[in-house]
């Protein structure tokens, strides 16, 4: 219980600092957009993935619908941290694709620390058989998936903020990121027999390479599709567009 309380306080502090920084350094509409997309995804995707697809769950006393009550704020805080770091390293005037790609890498790295920690302390449990033989029962597809999510979040924000139609842009980004991510999550059970076949045949280094190639062929096209949809939406939402 003590660990859960400290985790909740640290997440809420990170999210709170993100909100303060965002509203202090960005136009109010953009700050609301970043907050609403982060919280909207954080309180929509995990409950569906956990309670419908049953890929993983959380343990503890501070959970609601099998997720920690603060989980949405964790998503927002990590998203905003990745975006801010990418902008700081490249400069806000850098191209939106460069910022989105670096932000995606940073978000994937952040999640590569967050999830294994939760798994190691028993706050989180994964049920996919293909994950069982990995360190901390963790799989390289997880940070790659989160990199895709980070890219979609950041690229969508950078594209659609220019429309100044913040409510509509927020809904568009949420629709794109949710539909694509839930679509991929629904396909994971169909891939389990493939993982089960290859695991006994090869050592872990070979499996890492195979999975990196496999997930690259999944998330790279998904990222391109997300970028295409977001750019179409950005053109449609421009003032004066028909």
Query: Can you read off the two tokens belonging to residue 154?
Result: 């950041």
Name the pLDDT band for 81 (thresholds 50, 70, 90).
very high
Q: What is the distance between the alpha carbons of residues 75 and 73, in angstroms, rounded to a whole number? A: 5
Q: Between the CA atoms of 205, 210, 211 and 213, what dihedral angle is there, to the nearest 10 degrees? A: 130
Calculate mean pLDDT across residues 202-216. Answer: 67
Instruction: Report CA-CA distances (Å) from 109 to 187, 191, 197.
Output: 24, 24, 29
What pLDDT sits at residue 129?
66
Write down the pLDDT at residue 34.
97
pLDDT (0 to 100) of residue 3: 80
| d(C-alpha 83, C-alpha 101), whole Å | 10
Section 99-116 average pLDDT: 90
Domain count, the chain: 1
Q: Provide, rounded to the nearest whole percent, the portion of the chain with pLDDT above 70.
A: 85
Task: Quote the DSSP letter at residue 123.
Answer: S
- Is position 84 within any domain? yes
Does 151 fall in a domain? yes
Phi, psi for 156 (deg, rounded to 5): -60, -40
What's the mean pLDDT in 106-111?
Answer: 90
Cβ(41)–Cβ(75) below 8 Å: yes
Residue 63: the pLDDT is 86
Supply the range of the domain harboring residue 51.
Answer: 2-237
Residue 242 lies in a domain: no
Does residue 160 surpass a pLDDT of 90? Answer: yes
Bigger pLDDT: 4 vs 103: 103
pLDDT digits (tens, 9 = 90+) for 161-208: 999 999 999 999 999 999 999 988 887 777 677 766 776 776 666 666
The pLDDT of residue 208: 67
pLDDT tens by residue, 117-152: 887 788 888 777 666 555 555 666 778 888 999 999
221 pLDDT more than 60:
yes
Q: What is the pLDDT of residue 50?
A: 87
Q: CA 133, 138, 142, 147 torsion: positive or negative? A: negative
| Confidence (pLDDT) at 103 | 96
What pLDDT does residue 240 have? 60
Angle at 74 between CA 58 and CA 234, to 5 degrees: 120
Q: What is the pLDDT of residues 11-53, one digit of tens each?
A: 999 999 999 999 999 999 999 999 999 999 999 999 998 888 8
- 106 within a domain of the structure (yes/no): yes
Position 7 scores a pLDDT of: 86
Exposed, middle or buried: residue 35 (CB in 10 Å: 0-12, 13-18, 19+)? buried
Has residue 155 been placed in a domain? yes
Q: Supply the pLDDT for residue 187.
A: 76
Residue 154 lies inside a defined structural domain of this protein:
yes
């Amino acid at each position: 219980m003590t660990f859960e309380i400290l985790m909740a306080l640290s997440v809420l502090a990170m999210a709170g600092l993100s909100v303060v920084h965002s509203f202090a350094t960005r136009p109010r509409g953009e700050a609301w957009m970043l907050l609403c997309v982060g919280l909207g995804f954080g309180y929509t995707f995990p409950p569906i993935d956990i309670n419908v697809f049953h890929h993983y769950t959380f343990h503890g006393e501070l959970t609601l619908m099998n997720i920690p009550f603060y989980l949405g704020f964790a998503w927002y805080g990590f998203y905003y941290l990745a975006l801010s770091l990418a902008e700081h390293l490249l400069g806000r005037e850098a191209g939106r694709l460069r910022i989105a790609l670096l932000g995606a890498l940073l978000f994937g790295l952040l999640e590569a620390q967050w999830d294994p920690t939760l798994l190691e302390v028993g706050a989180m449990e994964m049920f996919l058989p293909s994950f069982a033989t990995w360190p901390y029962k963790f799989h390289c597809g997880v940070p790659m998936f989160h990199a895709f999510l980070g890219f979609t979040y950041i690229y969508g924000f950078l594209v659609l903020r220019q429309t100044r139609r913040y409510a509509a842009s927020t809904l568009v980004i949420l629709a794109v990121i949710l539909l694509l991510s839930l679509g991929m999550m629904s396909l994971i059970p169909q891939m389990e027999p493939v993982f089960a076949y290859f695991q006994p045949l090869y050592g872990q280094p070979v499996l890492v390479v195979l999975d990196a190639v496999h997930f690259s062929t999944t998330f790279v096209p998904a990222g391109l599709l997300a970028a295409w949809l977001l750019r179409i939406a950005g053109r449609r939402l421009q003032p004066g567009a028909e």
